[in-house]
Amino acid sequence: MISIVRVPATRSARDTLEPIQQLLEQIDYRPSSRKVFIKPNMVDATSPLEAVDTDPALVGGLVLALKERGADEFAIGDGTGYFNEEKNWLRLVEESGYKAMADDLEKNHGIGLTIVNLETAPREGFPWKFGSIKLPSLCRTHAYINFAKMKTHVHTQVTLACKNQKGLLSLADKKAFHLGKKYSDLHENIKALASAVRPELAIVDATRALEGSGPTTAPAGQTKVRRLKLCLGGPDMVEVDNAACQLMGIPVDSVRHLNRVPVAVARGSEPLQPIVPPFVRPNPEIMATDNFFVHMSETCCTGCQMSRSRMFRKISFVPDINQLFARFRYQHGRVDFVMGSTSDDAIEAIKGRGGTLVFYGNCTKAAADKFGGIHVPGCPPDHNVAIDVLLGKAG
């Protein structure tokens, strides 16, 4: 059973309380414990307007609604794959609006909450298809709620509640999920994880959703924000994701980590009708900027994805660097950026387009040695170092 509610405004937790209350009432949800762990998608240090992270105002509204339903201890956490060091994590918490939301709850509602960097949180083994996997103990000690963002994704078509669970993994397992050697491929791994740990409530923030070549902002109109002003949720994460795909106009069968299941809509819910026009699907070849193409195989994990995104953002917004970059582009013409371990055949095909090859991250070192070109080291590369390596070549 799912419910879809309209969320007219997301300026503060108070704005979102009523729609979240409606959602919880319609699916008749009460937390199983007074201690609640909410896992939003907190992947980048960006404003909620960019539709990359779960909007903190919604998470704040959920905390207020849960407090009315008997909860009194709240932990909110994610493991980003890039902002792992404590100082970087704190920057993300600040710039994404989560700190301001927590301050608002404390000051105006008397509710204290803990914001947890899952990379350093205690973990324990959970049985799953491939043996045992280390996940945050919070999933057992607290009522676990998955609060995802509605986005398209170049590797998985969509990132919703099931995919959001990747943030529960240790950094090593995040990489292993993508590399596809230790367990299975990325899609099977996400599916198996959905059986290993199940939230008792899954919500998808579709107030502002991201379409195109997500899951982070891509330039030149390759991602766009869709202002849907909706939230949907229910106790079955797979059913919620099926409903979200229907809203997005993306066939469930094209999402390899998701099984098709029937969706029942709660009484009082907004109707489950595909949004018109449907969401723009992701293009695996992202144009980072004119004549600069990114080829990101599905073995490329969040670390390099975020690092690349932040590198281009810095290049775009810092005038001195932008000038150096213009010179680099003038000297090189077309540039093809290879990310994640990529087959020789695929690299040959990319090379055939005649551009300068840039190999990004330690996963591409062997290919860089074999095919030549510029190699940016790191796992993931620090985006500032990446800029130095890249523009150092401009001479």
Q: Which residues bind ligand SF4 (CB under 6 A)?
A: 175, 300-301, 303-304, 340, 361-363, 379-380
Return the number of the residue (38 or 311) whose C-beta is nearest ligand SF4. Answer: 311
For the CB of residue 165, give the shortest distance to ligand SF4 in the complex, in Å.
Answer: 18
According to DSSP, the β-strands at 335-339 and 143-153 are: unpaired
**In the bound complex, what is the minimum distance in angstroms from residue 218's beta carbon to ligand SF4?**
17
Name the minimum Å distance from CB 121 to ligand SF4: 20
Residue 212 vs 340, nearer CB to ligand SF4: 340
Of the candidates 358, 356, 360, which has an alpha carbon nearest to the alpha carbon of residue 378? Answer: 360
User: Please, which residue, 300 or 358, has the CB nearer to ligand SF4?
Assistant: 300
Query: Which candidate, 170, 235, 211, 327, places its Cα nearest to that of 23?
Result: 235
* Amino acid, single-letter form, for residue 115: I
**Least distance from C-beta 103 to ligand SF4, angstroms?**
33
- Cα gap 341→254, rounded to integer Å: 23
- Taking the complex as a whole, the smallest distance from the CB of residue 239 to ligand SF4 amounts, in Å, to 31
Q: Which phi and psi (to 5°) does residue 245 adopt? A: -60, -40
- C-beta of 149: minimal distance to ligand SF4 in Å? 21
Angle at 268 between CA 62 and CA 234, to 5 degrees: 45
Q: Judged by CB, which is closer to ligand SF4: 175, or 310?
A: 175
Q: Two tokens at 340?
A: 């994640």
Which residues in 163-189 are b (16+ Cβ under 10 Å) and which e?
bbbbbbbbbebbbbbbbbeebebbbbb
Strand, coil or helix: 52: coil
Q: Which is nearer to ligand SF4, 101 or 363 (CB)?
A: 363
Residue 276: what are its φ and ψ, rounded to 5°? Answer: -115, 130
Q: Which is nearer to ligand SF4, 1 or 300 (CB)?
A: 300
The amino acid at residue 158 is V
Closer to ligand SF4 by Cβ: residue 56 or 361:
361
> E strands of 170-247, at which residues?
201-212, 223-234
User: Least Å distance between CB 295 and ligand SF4?
Assistant: 13
Residue 113 structure tokens: 């909450």
